[in-house]
Amino acid sequence: MKVGIVGSGNVGAGAANAMVLRGVAREIVMVDINTKRALAEAEDILHAVPFSSHAVVVRQGEYSDLEGCSVVVITAGVAQKPGETRLQLLSRNAHIFKGMIPQIIASAPDAILVIATNPVDIMTHLTAHYAMPLGVPRQHVIGSGTTLDTARFRAILGRALDVDPDHVHGYVVGEHGDTEVLAWSLTTVGTVPLNDYAQARGIDLTPEMVAEVDDGVRRAAYRIIEGKGSTYYGIGAALARIVQAIVRDQRSLLTVSVPVEKIGDVNDITFALPAIVGGDGIIAVLPKPLNEEEERLLVESARTLRQALDDLAAAGEL
């Protein structure tokens, strides 16, 4: 399988490296306006191939080299600044996508597009808006959504519960950002509901502990950006996992950005919900049996994104 990555900054390089280590693709083509950076990242990552036990070609290329890609991951765009929310990135990145998406589709019309550029839910919505008139099916446009937030939730909660995060089944839904919703009511450890597990283990799930986990998930990006400038290891691994689900048609359940026709009083947005992802992109979006408060918060998250889209439309970008 051939995979393209448009954007060779920290996130694109992190995704390429994670794909090499996981053996996701046979060939990875890295495209960036900064060809020198793309060439350097491709060469550096290529040197990791002998340690991965997988035969992989990693190279720099142009848009034309995306021909034959089954998946194109898009990480291009301007980076999030310290203290800047993801939604504040919107106006700066929308213009980039307007010119970039048609060039990708011209070379790889059958590729599934996986979007990671922030604000990812809006950028995924925009990508679909630009791509569908060019013949790309809507299910072939997927945002990374809250796959990383869900991993953060499971990792942080697993640490608090003293259990392997692989056995913590919990989801973060809604916007990948400040209004995301941690679905505590659906969380289990194995097949055991969270509260029952905590009681059996003698763990006190106090409001303070819940708030600490929530903050650990919701504010993670801000802390990491403040400390080292950007996040890339976690999202790189998340992107590799999404691509793996597609190229191997694994039918994996992932919290990716998907189209939502209506939720509450909000129409036509894109945000993260549990979805089955496979060889044809988004195969199905699953029901979300949230409790009343979580559903209320999810609608509020949807309103935030709808307002951003309305502002974008008013500026002539949508």
Burial of residue 178, with CB atoms counted within 10 A of its CB: 0-12 exposed, 13-18 middle, 19 or more buried? middle
pLDDT interval class at 112 (50, 70, 90): very high
Look-up: residue for tokens 């918060």? 297
What mean pLDDT value characterizes the chain? 94
Instruction: Assess contact for 92 and 117: CB atoms under 8 A.
Output: no
Using CA atoms, how far apart are residues 221 and 80, in angstroms rounded to an integer? 10
Residue identified by tokens 């060889």 is: 279
- pLDDT for 86: 59
> In b/e form, how buried is each residue of 70-84, taking b as 16+ CB within 10 angstroms?
bbbbbbbbebbeeee
| E strand or H helix that includes residue 122 | helix 120-131
Would you state the CATH architecture of domain 2-143?
3-Layer(aba) Sandwich (3.40)
Fold category of 147-313 in CATH: L-2-Hydroxyisocaproate Dehydrogenase; Chain A, domain 2 (3.90.110)
Q: Is the pLDDT of residue 87 over 70?
A: no
| 62: confidence class by pLDDT, cuts 50, 70, 90 | very high
For residue 274, which of 187, 152, 199, 171 has the smallest C-alpha distance?
171
User: What is the predicted pLDDT for the residue at 318?
Assistant: 74
* CB-CB contact of 205 with 198 (8 Å): yes
Instruction: Summarize the chain as % helix, strand, coil (round to 5).
Output: 50, 20, 30
Nearest residue to 73 (alpha-carbon basis) of 278, 235, 308, 258? 235
Say which residue, 113 or 316, is predicted with more confidence.
113
The reported pLDDT for the residue numbered 22 is 92
Query: From CA 180, how far away is CA 29, in angstroms rounded?
Result: 33
Contact 265, 305 (CB under 8 A): no
Count of residues making up the chain: 318
Write down the pLDDT at residue 198.
Answer: 95
What's the mean pLDDT in 128-143? 97
Specify the pLDDT at position 85. Answer: 67
Share of the chain above pLDDT 90, in %: 86
Query: Which ranges of 202-232 does DSSP label H, i.e. alpha helix?
Result: 207-218, 220-228
In the chain, CATH 3.40.50.720 sits at 2-143
Q: How far apart are CA 56 and CA 38, in angstroms?
A: 17
Better-predicted residue by pLDDT, 66 or 118: 66
* pLDDT tens digits along 139-154: 999 999 999 999 999 9
Q: Which two tokens stand for residue 315?
A: 């500026």
The verdict on whether 176 is a catalytic residue reads: yes
